[in-house]
Amino acid sequence: MPLKRRIAIVQSNYIPWKGYFDLIAAVDEFILYDDVQFTKRDWRNRNKIKTPQGLHWLTVPVRSKGRYSQAIRETEINGEDWAEGHWKSLVQNYRRAPCFSEVEEWLRPLYLEKHYYLLSELNSAFIKAICDYLGIKTRISRSSEYELWDGQTERLLGLCVQGKADEYISGPAAKDYLDEAKFTEHGVKVAWFDYSGYPEYPQLWGDFVHGVSILDLLFNCGKDSINYMKHVK
């Protein structure tokens, strides 16, 4: 019996949490869904790290004033000073973490030696670099590489059909709007990803928090990070 081809479709996020990468590892193709509208004060251009003072947001400044309907892939980064500031924050709060030096070797150049014009380019670069470090071999593509169908459910379905998916793996939040019957009509099974049950790992600065950037896990656990995830092997 041939293996099922699994696809997930999610907007690109800035240095996402570990569950995002667990979903990538669980599928054969992960499509960055950056043709949808950019949303302010969301995960697209920011994420949380831990500090001695509590959780802290790292936010990439973007040009959004008056651009209310722009897609994520059209969203421009506003300036370059943010990168040095983010890196200084990471150094300040994680330099004592056990695996900081190992991760710094490939992460530092992404902040200080690269220049990004579009948010999608930035997010994609960081996501792929983190996947490489974790040994995740999933193909990462973009929705712009495919023909986009009309309709909220239809767009996702169209990407699955063109990607020859047998199964679409979705986050549980989509249960509120996804029409599973349309997927069934095209022979695509819908499965819901489970983000629960992650074990705690050694973490700096107070009580344990799951929903922070995966960089927190990498700095603290390095290559052993895969032992605290469910689908990365």
User: For residues 12 and 34, is the Cβ–Cβ distance under 8 A?
Assistant: yes
Residue 232 inside a domain? The answer is no
Residue 123 inside a domain? The answer is yes
- How many separate domains does the chain show? 1
Task: Tell me what pLDDT residue 80 has.
Answer: 86
H or E element at residue 215: helix 214-221
Which tokens go with 17? 């949490």
Distance between CA atoms of residues 196 and 217, nearest Å? 16
Residue 187 inside a domain? The answer is yes
User: For residues 219 and 94, is the Cβ–Cβ distance under 8 A?
Assistant: yes
Residue 72: pLDDT band (50, 70, 90) is very high
Residue 1 pLDDT > 80, yes or no? no
Residue 69 inside a domain? The answer is yes
CB atoms within 10 A of CB 34: 24
Express as a percent the part of the chain with pLDDT over 90.
Answer: 94
Express as a percent the part of the chain with pLDDT over 70.
Answer: 99
Which residues, at least 6 apart from 101, have a Cβ–Cβ distance to it below 8 Å?
Answer: none
Residue 58: pLDDT band (50, 70, 90) is very high
Task: Tell me what pLDDT residue 2 has.
Answer: 64
Residue 233 inside a domain? The answer is no
The model's pTM = 0.96
Residue 1 inside a domain? The answer is no
- Helix orientation angle between 81-94 and 100-112, rounded to the nearest 10 degrees: 170
Distance between CA atoms of residues 206 and 202, nearest Å? 11
**Domain range for 32:** 6-227
pLDDT in tens, 179-216: 999 999 999 999 999 999 999 999 999 999 999 999 99
Name residue 37's beta-bridge partners: 71
Residue 197 inside a domain? The answer is yes
Residue 204 inside a domain? The answer is yes
Instruction: Return the higher-pLDDT residue of 80 and 108.
Output: 108
